[in-house]
Every structure is written in structure tokens, then in C-alpha cells.
Amino acid sequence: MDIAASPNAVDGYTSQSRLLSFMATAGYTYDGKYIIDGAVRRDGSSRFGTNNQYGTFWAVGLGWNMERERFMENVEFINKLKIRGSVGTSGNNSIGNYAAQGVYGYGSYNNLSTSYPKRLANPDLTWEKNLQASVGFDVSFFDSRLNATFDYYNRKTTDMLLATNLSQTTGFSSRIDNVGEMKNSGVEIAVNGDVVRTNDWTFSLNGMFSYNKNEVTKLYEGQDIETGYNGIITEGERLNTYKLVRWAGVNPQTGDALYYTKDGQITNVYNGDDAVVLSDKTPDPKYFGSFGTRVSWKGLELSADFYYAIGGYIYNNVSYFMNSDGKKCNKESAYGFAL
């Protein structure tokens, strides 16, 4: 509706995508002790290029219920002990509906409706792929009054879907492409237990802790990818690491704001070319989790849950505009962080 020659406060759009999936699963358990299961799926997404719309993904898992073994019969305080592991692949298609297509945009110019090339086609755009292996265990003590779960995972991502920079002689500045690799590894621990458990009352506590280590391991021809005006994707760093000019304080004699140049010298002249990669500083937390409690009495229940994230940095965009003199930046905007 907004492509009329003289639009007046109108707007409208439509967007569509399609996903076609086939999946098969199988599992087998022997004597209630040994478990194996597997899955395979074939997915096709309209979001990808006509040459690579389909991907095949698989997974295999193993489990061992150790508490059913004869050597565990006399261990009365453990009523569940399961060791498990899995390996498999998955795909990601979380991009725009028409990222692979050479589409046209519409607007108006000189009171005439217009159309123009808006996106460069990419017929080879395909699924981002993840290969993940994990091991863990589940254990319960004292008639399931205390339960714990532990997992370790290692995931490799290939054919990452990222906006790559293009020479503007093409008429475009960027396009979505499969251009990188990344790895994630970490642990997840969850514990819950009933402090009080009677016929009428239950009082329980729970907690969960996660740690994730992220690193971009490969980019197309090693080229960095700028993400907005304050972030960068570069090999050897975490995804979306900040790239900013560093704040060096205030000159106590003149009141001038001070900054570090790219080579570490102090200056009172703000220059965007002095921005450097701030290693290990990203919006994504390293540690996160939750903790909580639950109280129940004769069917009535009261619960409380709390969530936390540690190790992520937030760019204070409000401070950037509110506290800047228009030419230079103050501490928060130049360095750009608030926990």
C-alpha cells in the first residue's frame, strides 16, 4: 500500500516461507538397562537458494541405567544412575524469508512510483550446520529427594549464515552467505532437592548453572565482518565482540576527555579509526542459570524462580546520545559498557 506515487501515512506488506520435513526415528532398550536410539530427517526451506534448499541431519544416542546392574543392588542411597551420550547434526534456517533471492524494492521519486534492485541473489545459500557431541549423567539419591543432572557438550558450527561485506561497485554493500565456522563448548549442571517432604508439606530448592565458551574459528578468506558501528566478527574471538575506541579518563587540568589511540597512546582527539577489538567482551554471557524454591501444602503451591547472567557487556546506547557533547564521547559511550 505504501508504493503509491504520493503515499500518505499508509503501510503494508506480506511475507511467506515454507518448510518441508521428513523424519524417521528408531529406538531399542535391552533388559531396561541399555538404550540406543537414532533419528534422521530431511528438511527443505524456501529461505535458501534454489540450488541448496534441502539438508539431511541425523542423531544417535546411547544410555545405560546403571542402577539396574547387579553390582548396584546394595547401594541403597542411590535409586537412579543413568549415563548417557549422543552425537548428531542439526540445521539452522533463521534468516529472512527472501535472503537468497534477488528482490526489488519499491518507493516513490518525483511523485512517481518506482522499483529498484534491493538485494543480490544468492542461489547457493544453504543451511547452517551444527555437529554436536555430548555426555552426561542423571542421578537420584535418598528415594529421589535429591536429584542432579550433568552435561558436557561440544558443538561445531559450519556454513554460518552471516552478512558478508561486498564491494559497493556491485551496487550492494552486503548479502547473507555461508562464510564461517564456530565452536561452542560448555557444561550444564542442574540440582533439585526436597528439604522437607511429608504427606502434607513439601519444601524444595533447585538451581541450574551453565557455562559456555565460544570462538569464531574461520571466516571467508579471514575477512572480518563488521556488525553495526560497535561490533565485529573476527577469527579467534567470541561472536559479536565489541570494537570501540577506548576511554582513557579526563585531563584534570583542562577537563578534556581522553582516549587511547590504536597503538595505546593517550590523546584528547576522538577518532573512530582508533577503535580496536576488545577481546572477550561481547553481549553474550559466559555464565547463566537460575535458582528457586517451591513450597506446597495439601495441593496449594507457592514458587519463586530467579535467573542470572554473568560475563556479558551491554552497550549503553542511551548514554551515548544523552551524555555526549555531539563531537566527542564520554566514558560510557566511548568504552560502551555497563554490566
Q: What is the mean pLDDT of the chain?
A: 87
Determine the average pLDDT of the residues in 80-90: 95
CA-nearest of 127, 156, 152 to 57 is 127
Comparing 51 with 317, the larger pLDDT belongs to: 51
pLDDT of residue 153: 96
pLDDT of residue 329: 46
pLDDT of residue 6: 66
What pLDDT band is residue 4 in, cutting at 50, 70 and 90?
A: low
pLDDT of residue 331: 42
pLDDT exceeds 50 at position 68: yes
- Matching residue, cell 570501540: 244
The DSSP bridge partners found for residue 23 are 41
Determine the average pLDDT of the residues in 299-318: 89
pLDDT of residue 200: 87
Q: pLDDT by residue (tens digit) across 17-52? A: 999 999 999 999 999 899 999 999 999 999 999 999
pLDDT of residue 129: 96
pLDDT of residue 330: 41
Entry pTM: 0.78
What pLDDT band is residue 90 in, cutting at 50, 70 and 90?
A: very high
CA geometry: angle 91, 92, 93, nearest 5 deg:
125
What pLDDT band is residue 72 in, cutting at 50, 70 and 90?
A: confident
CA dist 23 → 43, 127, 130, 131 (Å): 9, 17, 18, 18
Q: pLDDT by residue (tens digit) across 116-164? A: 888 888 999 999 999 999 999 999 998 889 999 999 999 999 999 988 8
Contact 118, 72 (CB under 8 A): no
Instruction: For residue 281, give the DSSP letter.
Output: -
pLDDT of residue 318: 80
Comparing 153 with 77, the larger pLDDT belongs to: 153
**Neighbour order of strands in the sheet with 54-65:** 19-30, 34-45, 54-65, 78-92, 128-141, 146-158, 180-197, 201-219, 287-297, 300-310
* Phi/psi-derived region of residue 248, left when phi > 0, alpha when psi is between -120 and 50, beta in every other case: alpha
CA dist., res. 7 & res. 3, Å (int): 7
% of the chain at pLDDT higher than 70: 92
Q: pLDDT by residue (tens digit) across 94-113? A: 998 888 998 888 877 888 88
pLDDT of residue 333: 40
For residue 291, what are the contacts with CB-CB under 8 A and spacing of at least 6?
205, 206, 207, 208, 305, 306, 308
pLDDT of residue 136: 96
**How long, in residues, is the chain?**
339
What pLDDT band is residue 7 in, cutting at 50, 70 and 90?
A: low
What pLDDT band is residue 337 in, cutting at 50, 70 and 90?
A: very low
